[in-house]
Structure 1
Amino acid sequence: MGRGDLSNEEWARLGPYLPKNVGRGGRWKNHRRVINGILFRQRTGIPWRALPTRFGKWKTVHDRHRRWSADGTWDRILRAVQADADAEGRIDWSMASVDSTVCRAHQHAAGARKQAPRKPGKRTQPAQHRPDEALGRSRGGLSTKIHLAGEGGLRPLALLVTPGQWGDAPHLIPVLDRIRVPRPAGGHPRTRPDHLSGDKAYSFRRNRRYLRRRQIRHTIPERRDQRTHRQNRGSRGGRPTSFGHSRYARRNEVERTINQLKSFRAVATRFDKRAYVFHGIVTVAAVRLWLRS
């Protein structure tokens, strides 16, 4: 086992959720060796073609990751390991936090071709193409933003990738809607924490109405302009929002979770042209954090 490879304990927890050899075509190459190659590239950020030969052919490793990113396999694996952790009582549902981080995009991440029109009778990969490919342009160059909801144990519950210049507030609801932790014993999946914490960027009426409708208690500070506008309206402005300093102090947990994610070089700097491939890289990093816990 090389440095950064899956341990025997991690492999025992991950192996049952990997795809089996079904359908037409040849048999899958060794899953463990291929996943170790994906983890090596994720940790070091090297080009796919530069993968060491101990992981097999680089194209096999790249194609496996691209396919599993496109068809949602990595997302299903993330939910499966979250379900195991929830069954063992290792998820802190008492407090979740939301935040975002900007990842600088390498120059090789730009210039992806638009998806060609599908020809009749030809099977294509169900890739999740989008016109912007989650790349934003600013004075600093190209960037991508990762929106994250994390639990108290410093592990991500849900992820969303957008262009770097997009705001945080409009993506609070999409991120929370992605929280779905299945229950192995049966029943509806767990979709909401008991309490949510966020910074001033998420202080909007639409977000607060959404949280109240879902009965999620929240600690989000009121922005200064919103507070001034409310006070100027007098009794018509309504009551001030409740705020607990002790709960808000736990918001650093999601920031520490982001730091752990960005310890992987392929997450801290985006090298992939396609948004769904980069989203798969971030999801693999999240899976690794859950396996380590």
Structure 2
Amino acid sequence: MSSTTSNVKYHASRAAESKPLEYLARGGFIGYGIIHLLFAWIALQVAFGGSGQESDQSGALQEIARQSYGKGLLVVIAIGLFAMAIWQAFEAAIGESGPRDRAAFAERVLSGVRAVLYAYLGWMAVKIVQGASASMGDNYQSKSAGLMGSDGGRFLVSLIGLVVLGVGIGMAYYGWKRKFTKHLKTQEMPAGVRQSIIRLGVAGYVSKGIAYAIAGMLFVIAGVNYDTEKARGLDAALKTLAGYSWGVWLLVLIAAGIAAFGVYCMAQAKYRKI
């Protein structure tokens, strides 16, 4: 490794260990948990009331904005999300070991994906504070329509769907095998709550994985059938489930799992290794 690269990694490591960044990131987990609790509530409304709200994280952000204290809370959540994005970007850049270690490399890739997700949600929160009608579903549908209008676009949308499907399966596996526990300070958890927190994590990751897998399958269908309505991400996935009698109850279970993930995120505010 060159001296320049070593120097960059050294300074990045020092920045990643910044206490202010750690506190902001821990606060970000609380905000991320609130988003998922509201996301779960919207999913339940979709299941039983046919809600027209965006049934994804952007819908949760819009719900917060509708409250009297909403815009102030969104600013706080956005700051936390951006702090989480910076922290995960450092994790992606630095990693825990050399690039030849496949597990470490995969973890760095995941950190990069998380950084993009947190930054995107933070950006959406800012847009909503500014009065814009930010919608993840509309954004996905618009970009998919643009892709399908070009040569090979439908194939690319279907390919994106397969990637999202793979992400969903991977997320469910990640939760089921409790791989997330390596990021938790389990030794600091009270014995009486340790297993409860881990079970919340399992339920949350598996439920989100199922939702993403369904969204991925709908992207594939959208590409094959030239149906942009299906290319709306989690919003399309959950609303499609609500259209079937059996799907309503699966949607209820997914909503319960997403709520569990929200509570788990709040536990991460204290017990996540940062």
Instruction: Tell whether the structures are fold-level matches, with TM greater than 0.5.
Output: no
Greater share of residues in strand: 1
- The structure carrying a bigger helix percent of its residues is 2
User: TM-score, with normalisation over the residues of structure 2?
Assistant: 0.27
